[in-house]
Amino acid sequence: MQRFQLYIDGAFCDGEASFDSVDPATGKAWAQMPEAREADVDRAVESAHKALYDGPWSKLTATQRGKLLYKLADLVAANAARLAELETRDTGKIIRETSAQIAYVAEYYRYYAGIADKIEGSYLPIDKPDMEVWLRREPVGVVAMVVPWNSQLFLSAVKLGPALAAGCTLVLKASEDGPAPLLEFARLVHEAGFPPGVVNIITGFGPSCGAALGRHPRIAHVAFTGGPETARHVVRNSAENLASTSLELGGKSPFIVFADADLESAANAQVAGIFAATGQSCVAGSRLIVEASVKDRFLALLKRKAEAVRIGSPLDMATEVGPLATARQRQHIDALVERSSAAGARVVTGGRVPVGEGFYYPPTILDCDGVDSPSLAEEFFGPVLSVVSFETEEEALRLANDTVYGLASGVFTQNLTRAHRLMKGIRAGVVWVNTYRAVSPIAPFGGFGLSGHGREGGLAAALDYTRTKTVWLRTSDDPIPDPFVMR
């Protein structure tokens, strides 16, 4: 089996323990991973703290930081094939997606490399004649970053890029499920020449690693991607050190199709929105809300496309849907489909665990019209689509907003004024119109409600990793007239 190590204070090392990582396509162990525990976490955070305040990183100019990020971007691009293969092997995500996504991840590092020396302070036209006042933007401090197993190189890039551009140092915790690509990514960080302690990459389990990281007294900010329940633990932990948080959580995203939409294009986007990445995406368009007059036609089109999806080895470029990442994830999905069927949802296609090795689950469509199905409220994080119909635009909007989440949404219509009304009315951090799953380093991303707070991507993300310092300079040479009066 392959063997991986932690990356702490510029060096590769073993953890206090180790564990096996399972290949989702076979259900068998393929690699040995280091398990960081509290002592390892403490070493990583202390090294990040030292690098931030005492090491060479603190003396680099913003332009020099940007050059290191440019070098990291080039290394990611050059090693994309190796990183993609590891992510596919360790998480089951298909190679055609990991290859494309990781190649694009390099663009996020390039974007934030360019941002590094454009994070500006300001001068205040203060109301006192003998004072000059400036605002400085400085690094928020040591950042704890926690990412899940799905799209982890992308989800780490939208955190590392802006944090490093802002001058922070960090400890990144890869998920215990499928950490191989991020532990390998540490080698690129090392090769790029970042000073020791600036980037530390570890993995381990929640109670002994994640909790210890989030509550560490040296941590100033926690950037977390995952589910709402774990996020609640993160927020409770932050009470120990009063760290600020940014939370990118789950979703139950509405996908609205009107009768005037290009149905073929909408169907392709719906397939991308729910079956791509085997549905293991926080922005999965898992609730299809389709106009009643075209429901049967659109559902038949989707059924044909779902049943034509090629399921197979995630390492085969021809595969379109691979296995789920873990056995427990498949159990969760299968149980939720069963509960939804018992509640009256009709299985249009799929819905059964296939025979054979690996954690596969077929593309599944549930017709939930007129049914109070749990599939309409609970997040599957898998290739399962729940369908309801509507008669009016007002009803479509009500159904779209009938959720505790608010991460993403899709609207398909040729009516421009209707599109603008829905853009305004939908309570979600992202609204895609006549497209789905489009991302860019230039565009902020994040949610409302139980989908979290804070934004990743764009200039705003880099500013979130800074804090403002106000500097007052008295310009008068006269003595301060009265020390007991605030001026």
Question: Which residue carries 């020396």 as its tokens?
Answer: 117
* 247, 269, 272, 284, 416 from 261: Cα distances, Å: 34, 12, 17, 20, 11
In one-letter notation, the amino acid at residue 272 is: A
Strand bridging mode 17-23 / 28-35: antiparallel
Backbone angles phi and psi of 134, in degrees to 5 = -125, 155
Q: Which residues pair with 245 in a beta bridge?
A: 222
Helices (H), 193-326: 211-214, 228-241, 263-274, 295-308
Helical pair 180-192 and 152-165, crossing angle rounded to 10 deg: 30
223: left (phi over 0), alpha (psi -120 to 50) or beta: beta
Backbone angles phi and psi of 368, in degrees to 5 = -110, 15
107-137: burial string, b at 16+ Cβ within 10 Å, e else: bbbbbbbebbeebeeeeeeeeeeeeeeeeeb
Which one of the listed residues 248, 291, 320, 456 is annotated catalytic? 248
| Whether 248 is catalytic | yes
CA distance 46 to 197: 8
Lookup: tokens for 158: 């939208």
Q: Count of CB atoms within 10 A of residue 97's CB?
A: 20
Helical pair 95-115 and 80-91, crossing angle rounded to 10 deg: 130
* 272, 409, 429 from 406: Cα distances, Å: 19, 8, 6
Q: Which residues pair with 142 in a beta bridge?
A: 169, 219
* Longest CA pairwise span in the chain (Å): 87
How open is the CA angle 279-111-157, to the nearest 5 degrees?
40
Active-site amino acid positions? 248
